Structure 1
Amino acid sequence: MSNFHPLKNLKSDIPASIVVFLVALPLCLGIALASGAPLYSGLIAGIVGGIVVASLSGSHAGVSGPAAGLAVIVLAAIQDLGSFEIFLMAVVLAGIIQIVMGFLKGGIIAYYFPSSVIMGMLSGIGIIIFIKQIPHAFGYDRSPEGDLSFSSNGGENTFTELLNMLDFISPGALIITAVSLAILLLWETSFMKSKKIFQLIPGPLVAVISGIFLNQLFIGMPDFALRADQSVNVPLAESFSGFLGNFTFPDLAALTNPQIYITAVVIAVVASLETLLCVEATDKLDPYKRVTPTNRELKAQGVGNIISGMIGGLPITQVIVRSSANIQSGGRTKASAIIHGFLLLGSIIAIPYLLNLIPLATLAAILFIVGYKLAKPSLFRKMYKQGKGQFIPFIATILGIVFTDLLVGLGIGLVIAIFYILLNNYQITLNTKHERKEDGKDLMRLELAQELTFINKATILKSLANIPKNTKVEIDASNTRYMHHDIYEIIEDFRISAKERDIEVTIINLTEPVEGPTPPKFTVTTHSDEGEDFKEKIN
């Protein structure tokens, strides 16, 4: 891992951190807006997620901050609890719960999600990112930047927003989008990547500078000038003391309110699940295939949420939009996430006026590239080639995320993936081989699968019932590591009834199952007319 020391990779991490910063800034503000919280709370969460969580995390590429998936929960919690200060106390408690979950090894949850669902999540988010930025590209900026759910503010949804934007097309925003996208695509070409000077200057930074220049150029042109809501909107502080005045502190008296403990549990569970899924997805995107220690990640997120809650920030999770932007931009170590946190902090203190000149159309162009890379057509072809068991859960997850939200879409994909796992388990219950012996009798060999549960009962019963008369049968359980007692009883009943059908039965490596996956202890060979001997040997 010495090749991934942060100080050795700054030439890759610094450009990546700038891209992540440019992506994170409007997302932090948009998620705070969608959550019904002060705008600064989103920025605080982004700063803590970048500096604190990334420093403690074992993830090399993950970036943490406020999450769109929690926006609805935060909005409802603030309303139910009565004030933002009381809500902050719930965030602090949620962080404590996450730390406890980390020590209790709760990070293992992420490993129970199939790769088809994780890949579907990545593609679904990529499609959502792409679609949600189209209104910004055309100059229609009513929807919050961080909104990743199907429904938007004001009763609109992902697709009605696309129709509404046609009535609000801004020529200036379209030109800025086109120029920014052209710059970004140019920087993706092999020619630009082969030149050292262009490797040192990130394309998104050039796109942002160009966007600011065009924004200023259009000021004197009424048909092209951008409105205030078509640019980044960072709250301005007149002085450092004014900046500190934007921090909010939790209401400690709320500890006597039982409702905050319920809210804290909900935030801790949802934030942890979203983080763990993002960790799994980020590790799959990581070109170096490094594995993030999930229990350590939960502890880092817990510390981050405690600090965020104490100074007025939103709940924090690892976030796939920023994490994928980090990886796609060449970030190699956690230094890029940490630097992005300091860039957020420094920018809102030192250059908030300059930040407010950045057009949302430029940021939309950056996110177009991020979204496309997450949902490349080549990925769909790859998943299709892997068969229905992989492709259908993959597509179902994408559709669920696009037409509902992240957690519901994941749930849909997981249910369908489990269905295919059960179906596959049902279909590979046993392997049947037919041979012909010298005495003229057919020999049928049934090799049982490694795992046999009650789900396999129908297949076993059908296979045994279809064995013809005057046959020799070998039932081989040598490979079976777990057998449900119902399956054992079916085989026992068949052995007893086989005599009436003139079927000679040989049973290999079978023992009556006990609680837990106990392997067979010995081999028993018997025939249908030796029932008593069979029982005596087994017992």
Structure 2
Amino acid sequence: MSNRSMYFKTDIQAGVVVFLVALPLCLGIALASGAPLFAGIISGVIGGIVVGLLSKSQLSVSGPAAGLTAIILAAIGTLGSYQTFLVAVVLAGAIQILLGLVKAGTISNYFPSNVIEGMLTAIGIIIILKQLPHAIGYDVDNEGDFFFIEKNTGHNTLSALIDAINFAHLGAIVITLVSLAILIAFNRVAFLKKLKALPGALVVVVVGVLINEFFKASGSNLAIGQEHLVSLPVPKSFDDFVGQFSLPNFAEITRPDVWIVALTIAVVASIETLLCIEASDKLDPLKRYTDTNRELLAQGTGNILSGLLGGLPMTSVIVRTSANINSGGRTKTATIAHGILLLLAVLSIPMILNKIPLACLAAVLLMIGYKLASPTVFKHMWKSGKYQFIPFIITVVAVVFTDLLEGVAIGLVVSVFFILRANLKLAYFFKKEEYHQGEVITIKLAQEVSFLNKAAIKQTLNHLPTQSKVVIDATDTFYIDHDVVQLIKDFLNIGSKDKNIQVSLVGFKDEYTMEFSTHVSSN
């Protein structure tokens, strides 16, 4: 039985959950980007169906991304019209395809795991912080805005939490608490956990709508108004529906600023996608690996199609991907199903979708955030040692208080520092042994000795005692950087003579043949 057949039921369940999560995010990101609301839906549908079919990733879910909102908002203003911006989206997709063809996706192999862990944990914390206001009925900030400084209010994430308390809506709080209770029950009650065909998130949405409809029918002050509900565009006719699509104005393709925007989108979207792919592979219970070059080809194709139809640029998105994995998604069936559901829902039941309280969806996202940033993650990283924990925690703080790319960049710098520091210590082993002939010092080189180890080896050789015996052992070494080879040569021909040091070389490969002096013996 193939994986798709084996996991079909759980994948459909996960697809429903991802659909419920993606719907307000598509709208919120479009709103935050200064684009038509329907543009976010177009991007979500294409990201689910087209990219889902073309990608080799079994778990990642693509769609409009929060990390691109600032770029899109500025680009639309700079280029003068949304139709001109769409030209840049199409070109960005073409650039991504080119990046995939030249194998640029392999850069993802160099993202340290502690930084990826920190990024995932930070996203979990951000989700919690951003959804708490929605959970209590304070919906000033758009869904999908994951920046620390909020665009709508100018406040930051923490100050928004304080403001939210002053504008709390009791009806929203009731629905959030009921929703959380349902989700916890579906995670812990054995009978409910076995109901694979009934996602807890779907039950939450149905119950939330029914509760609010009851509040409205009874004239209660707890009733939640439209400003706190999903707000999907509702076309009055087929012409209105068709009018929601925009076409790119290719007459503007020769403008240099269009190409600059295209390159910017391509680079940022590709980096965010590669980060998400690494994260999804790390979260994958089946421990599969994604062809990142194929992913860039899929993303590029998706962005070309999205730009041609009037949609936003897309990336692989961590929030949707995490929702997919945590809901039981195991193959790309879940991703494709979420895209199909988005399409069908927009075409057939927009009025019903507009009855969903944002508080319901906030509860679903709060649970996802908690799973990403659970205390067990911090305990695990702490036990992994300081070289893992410090870059991890710095990445967490940096992502939370800046944004995804800046935070990851800071985490990478810190991680590289610790990697270099560890390499300096692990590149060779310095051992002293006492023999009756005198002192013998053994320097045993590691499997790989890079130029980064040159300074430490140089310092060791400079501090060797005079008239000593030294053994440099490369028996287990597969690679020695040219600079290090030259350093050892210089020590043999000059440094060892000056200090009357007897040197023996052991295990060096033929390609590292040295010009030995009379002071040197070779074994």
- Normalising by structure 2, we get a TM-score of 0.95
Which residue in 2 is equivalent to 1:91?
A: 89
Matches within 5 A, 1:66-77: 66-77=64-75
Does the CA contact (< 8 Å) of 1:119 and 1:394 recur in 2? Answer: yes
Q: Distance in 1 between matches of 2:51 and 2:193?
A: 34
Single out whichever of 492-501 and 425-434 deviates more from structure 2: 492-501
Report the 3-state secondary structure (helix = DSSP H, G, I; strand = E; otherwise coil) of the residue aligned with 1:21.
helix
1:393, distance to aligned residue in structure 2 (A): 1.1
1:237 to 235, 238, 248: 235
Single out whichever of 167-176 and 426-435 deviates more from structure 2: 426-435
Q: Does 1:465 align with 2:426?
A: no
1:261, distance to aligned residue in structure 2 (A): 1.0
- 1:100 maps to a residue whose letter is L
1:293, distance to aligned residue in structure 2 (A): 1.3
Which residue in 1 is equivalent to 2:154?
A: 155
Does the CA contact (< 8 Å) of 1:507 and 1:524 recur in 2? Answer: no
- 2:2 maps to a residue whose letter is N
Q: Distance in 2 between matches of 1:343 and 1:9?
A: 18
Q: Distance in 1 between matches of 2:77 and 2:344?
A: 32
Gapped regions of structure 1 (runs ≥ 5): 511-518
Report the 3-state secondary structure (helix = DSSP H, G, I; strand = E; otherwise coil) of the residue aligned with 1:199.
coil
Does the CA contact (< 8 Å) of 2:503 and 2:519 recur in 1? Answer: no
2:205 to 203, 208, 226: 208
Does the CA contact (< 8 Å) of 1:139 and 1:173 recur in 2? Answer: yes
Matches within 5 A, 1:266-277: 266-277=264-275
1:425 to 405, 414, 423: 423
Report the 3-state secondary structure (helix = DSSP H, G, I; strand = E; otherwise coil) of the residue aligned with 1:314.
coil
Q: Distance in 1 between matches of 2:9 and 2:503?
A: 71
Which residue in 2 is equivalent to 1:286?
A: 284
Which residue in 2 is equivalent to 1:191?
A: 190
Matches within 5 A, 1:37-48: 37-48=35-46
Report the 3-state secondary structure (helix = DSSP H, G, I; strand = E; otherwise coil) of the residue aligned with 2:7.
helix
Matches within 5 A, 1:346-425: 346-425=344-423
Does the CA contact (< 8 Å) of 1:464 and 1:494 recur in 2? Answer: no
Report the 3-state secondary structure (helix = DSSP H, G, I; strand = E; otherwise coil) of the residue aligned with 1:521.
helix
Could you report, residue by residue, the CA deviation over 1:456-501 in whole angstroms, capped at 9, with x for unpaired residues?
Answer: 3442233223323342111223315122426633552365343454
- 2:126 maps to a residue whose letter is I
- 1:521 maps to a residue whose letter is E
Gapped regions of structure 2 (runs ≥ 5): none
Q: Distance in 1 between matches of 2:267 and 2:516?
A: 54
Does the CA contact (< 8 Å) of 1:97 and 1:302 recur in 2? Answer: yes
Q: Distance in 2 between matches of 1:475 and 1:495?
A: 15
Distance 1:522 1:362, change over 3 A: closer
Q: Distance in 1 between matches of 2:91 and 2:465?
A: 66
Does the CA contact (< 8 Å) of 2:186 and 2:193 recur in 1? Answer: no
Report the 3-state secondary structure (helix = DSSP H, G, I; strand = E; otherwise coil) of the residue aligned with 2:63.
strand
Does the CA contact (< 8 Å) of 2:125 and 2:369 recur in 1? Answer: yes
Does the CA contact (< 8 Å) of 2:126 and 2:146 recur in 1? Answer: yes
Matches within 5 A, 1:50-199: 50-153=48-151, 154-193=153-192, 195=194, 198-199=195-196
Report the 3-state secondary structure (helix = DSSP H, G, I; strand = E; otherwise coil) of the residue aligned with 1:17.
helix
1:229, distance to aligned residue in structure 2 (A): 1.2
1:330 to 328, 331, 338: 328
Q: Distance in 1 between matches of 2:439 and 2:392?
A: 44
Does the CA contact (< 8 Å) of 1:149 and 1:401 recur in 2? Answer: no
1:140, distance to aligned residue in structure 2 (A): 0.4
The alignment of Structure 1 onto Structure 2 pairs a total of residues equal to: 519
Could you report, residue by residue, the CA deviation over 1:78-110 in whole angstroms, capped at 9, with x for unpaired residues?
Answer: 000000000001101111111111111111111
1:190, distance to aligned residue in structure 2 (A): 4.5
User: RMSD value over aligned CA atoms?
Assistant: 1.9
Report the 3-state secondary structure (helix = DSSP H, G, I; strand = E; otherwise coil) of the residue aligned with 2:233.
coil
Report the 3-state secondary structure (helix = DSSP H, G, I; strand = E; otherwise coil) of the residue aligned with 1:200.
coil
Q: Distance in 2 between matches of 1:473 and 1:417?
A: 34
Which residue in 1 is equivalent to 2:473?
A: 476
Does the CA contact (< 8 Å) of 1:53 and 1:301 recur in 2? Answer: yes
- Normalising by structure 1, we get a TM-score of 0.92
Q: Does 1:521 align with 2:511?
A: yes
Which residue in 2 is equivalent to 1:516?
A: none
